[in-house]
């Protein structure tokens, strides 16, 4: 039987420690659902004892059923002055009501003495009784041996003893952490082999995992060599490698390597064509630019430019590609070519039930429009509703529910110690009727949204159940300062689903307008399809 590796994602906890990486509770829920669809085995949602956002996330997740993944709560061993039964951190972990709890403890003797200010034997005790307290109260119990590789190099005997304490406490998997990210790939096999040997000598049969950080640019390599040489059972990492300092092991690089190069069995193998869109989703929700040069999922990962390369790839892609891009949901891009994006558009057409054949002249028209829009800043990875509307308009399938004529937004700061008053006025036509209305709001986008709803709801009552769930702005170029073009991403939701729409302009209000209009059109289109 092929070696099975569990994939443990910690984007929502370790990933959010990255500089400028922030997620709302709703963002975290959306990413959790995407990771579940991808086939991730365990999703670490956060440290419930550390902040209210994590508590709210775990509370909301109790009403959401995941298809495959199991949610994990993360926390530390008990405080030396608390018994396990009275330790607030451990009680918060149990209150999260997750099927998995991951506990981290100290492996490095320097940390025990200098950070915890306790005796080495006391650290062994708090590891064991923390896990022993949790073991009968949770389905899965993992132990993250923090700073294990540094601790092993400094005091091998003690680092190994901490693992025995964790096993005696009930840990079902031991995860060896390279927390400082300083370990190099050639060191991994010898250390993990020694761990396996030591556990066997003590009569302990517990699988190992690895949690590498990327401070030496070797996190992915360390994870892969641990699987290839030592058959570790679990890899912990983050989507796009987000994490503190230089980041964590990048799962978007690890997953394809496991699947296509090492022949390892994992649930993600069944859904790996979702990898590209999952990677983009995390970036969009974190409001961070995508690394176009990222392996497997970057825009340039399968982009070809230059006569010799292009000619060879057209004849046989294997000449300049180590895997085919569609395997991870990416696309081959022949730069300055009409072929770019063709398969991706056909795939979306099939997904949305649109009749579009490879030889349809409209396909070339859609590709041309898409290129023009992307060239001026549009991106649709987090705004597929806008892309579906684009395709339906090209195919003559999009109904005109209304026609907007004009809008105006006014901000009035009448006193510096008072909030700004914002009013939006719009004029539109529905059928033969002209509607002219205005609304106040908390800021220009909210006022504009309110005015649109006020005008349309009497004609389309279903818009009352539609909500603006999120709103993000990204500056596309800083070269023009405050004249720079911006991209606005709006996420809307109703009782059935969430959808994203996009707008681009040098005027932030106009970009917001575009995204809001698309959001309403999409809602009306879906509502009509349900009748």
- Rounded to 10 deg, the angle between the 52-61 and 25-38 helix axes is 50
Beta strands in 147-262 (DSSP E): 173-178, 208-212, 234-237
CA distance 169 to 126: 10
Beta bridge partners of 238: 250
pTM: 0.71
What is the pLDDT, as a whole number, of residue 334?
57
Q: Would you state the structure tokens that stand for residue 206, as one six-digit string?
A: 């517990």
CA distance 465 to 463: 5
pLDDT tens track of the chain, all 531 residues?
A: 568 999 999 999 999 999 989 999 999 999 999 999 999 999 999 999 777 889 999 999 999 999 999 999 999 999 999 999 999 999 999 999 999 999 999 999 999 999 999 999 999 999 999 999 999 999 999 999 999 999 999 999 999 999 999 999 999 999 999 999 999 999 999 999 999 999 999 999 999 999 999 999 999 999 999 999 988 999 999 999 999 999 999 999 999 999 999 999 999 999 999 999 999 999 989 988 888 899 999 988 877 765 455 556 566 676 778 888 889 998 776 554 344 456 667 767 887 888 888 888 888 888 888 888 888 888 887 788 998 999 899 899 988 999 988 999 998 887 888 888 899 999 999 988 899 999 998 888 889 999 999 999 989 999 999 988 888 898 886 556 666 789 999 999 888 888 999 999 989 999 999 999 999 999 999 998 776
Per-residue exposure over 408-426, b if at least 16 CB sit within 10 Å of its own CB, e if not: ebeeeeeeeeeeeebbbbb
Please report, for residues 273, 309, 316, the alpha-carbon distance to residue 322 in angstroms, rounded to integers and kept in the order given: 16, 14, 12
CB atoms inside a 10 Å sphere around CB 104 = 21
pLDDT at 339: 44
SS3 433: strand
Instruction: Give the pLDDT score at 307.
Output: 47
**CA of 230: how far to CAs of 212, 234, 469, in Å?**
15, 11, 45
- Other beta carbons within 10 angstroms of residue 507's beta carbon come to 11
pLDDT of residue 505: 93
Strands (E), 68-161: 70-76, 100-106, 140-146
CA–CA separation, 363 vs 348, rounded Å?
A: 12
Other C-beta atoms within 10 Å of 108: how many? 25
| Cα–Cα dist 59/71, whole Å | 12
Domains of the chain: 6-285 (3.20.20.70), 302-340 (4.10.430.20), 403-530 (3.30.160.270)
């Amino acid at each position: 039987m092929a070696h099975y590796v569990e994939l443990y994602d910690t984007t929502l906890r370790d990933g959010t420690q990255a500089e400028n990486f922030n997620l709302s509770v709703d963002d975290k829920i959306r990413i959790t659902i995407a990771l579940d669809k991808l086939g991730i085995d365990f999703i670490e949602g956060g440290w419930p004892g550390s902040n209210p956002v994590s508590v709210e996330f775990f509370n909301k997740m109790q009403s959401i059923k995941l298809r495959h993944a199991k949610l994990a709560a993360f926390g530390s061993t008990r405080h030396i002055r608390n018994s396990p039964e009275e330790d607030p951190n451990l009680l918060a972990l149990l209150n999260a009501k997750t099927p998995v709890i991951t506990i981290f403890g100290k492996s490095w003797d320097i940390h025990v003495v200098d950070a915890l200010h306790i005796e080495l034997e006391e650290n062994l005790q708090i590891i064991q009784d923390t896990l022993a307290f949790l073991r009968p109260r949770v389905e899965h119990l993992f132990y993250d041996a923090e700073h294990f590789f540094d601790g092993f190099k400094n005091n091998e005997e003690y680092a190994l003893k901490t693992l025995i304490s964790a096993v005696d406490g009930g840990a079902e998997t031991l995860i060896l952490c390279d927390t400082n990210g300083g370990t190099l790939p050639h060191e991994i096999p010898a250390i993990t082999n020694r761990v396996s040997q030591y556990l066997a000598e003590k009569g302990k049969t517990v699988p190992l995992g690895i949690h590498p950080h990327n401070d030496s640019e070797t996190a992915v390599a360390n994870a892969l060599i641990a699987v290839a040489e030592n058959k570790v059972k679990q890899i912990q990492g983050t989507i796009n490698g987000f994490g503190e300092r230089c980041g964590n092991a990048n799962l978007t690089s690890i997953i394809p390597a496991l699947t296509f190069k090492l022949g390892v069995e994992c649930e993600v193998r069944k859904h790996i064509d979702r990898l590209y869109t999952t990677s983009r989703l995390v970036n969009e929700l974190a409001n961070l630019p995508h690394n176009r040069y990222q392996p497997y999922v970057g825009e340039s990962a399968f982009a070809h430019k230059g006569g010799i390369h292009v000619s060879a790839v057209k004849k046989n892609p294997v000449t300049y590609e180590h895997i085919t891009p569609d395997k991870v949901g990416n696309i081959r891009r022949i730069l300055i070519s009409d072929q770019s994006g063709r398969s991706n558009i056909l795939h979306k057409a099939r997904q949305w039930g649109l009749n579009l054949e490879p030889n349809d002249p409209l396909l070339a028209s859609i590709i041309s429009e898409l290129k023009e829009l992307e060239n001026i800043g549009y991106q649709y990875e987090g705004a597929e509703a806008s892309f579906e509307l684009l395709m339906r308009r090209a195919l003559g399938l999009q109904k005109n529910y209304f026609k907007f004529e004009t809008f105006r937004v006014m901000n009035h700061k009448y006193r510096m110690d008072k909030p700004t008053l914002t009013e939006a006025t719009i004029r539109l036509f529905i059928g033969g009727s002209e509607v002219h209305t205005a609304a106040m709001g908390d800021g220009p986008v909210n006022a504009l949204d309110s005015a649109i709803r006020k005008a349309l709801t009497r004609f389309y009552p279903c818009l009352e159940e539609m909500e603006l769930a999120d709103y993000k702005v990204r500056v596309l170029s800083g070269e023009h300062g405050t004249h720079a073009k911006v991209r606005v991403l709006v996420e809307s939701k109703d009782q059935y689903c969430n959808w994203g729409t996009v707008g681009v302009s040098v005027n932030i209000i106009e970009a917001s307008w575009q995204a809001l209009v698309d959001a309403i059109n999409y809602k009306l289109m879906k509502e009509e399809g349900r009748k």
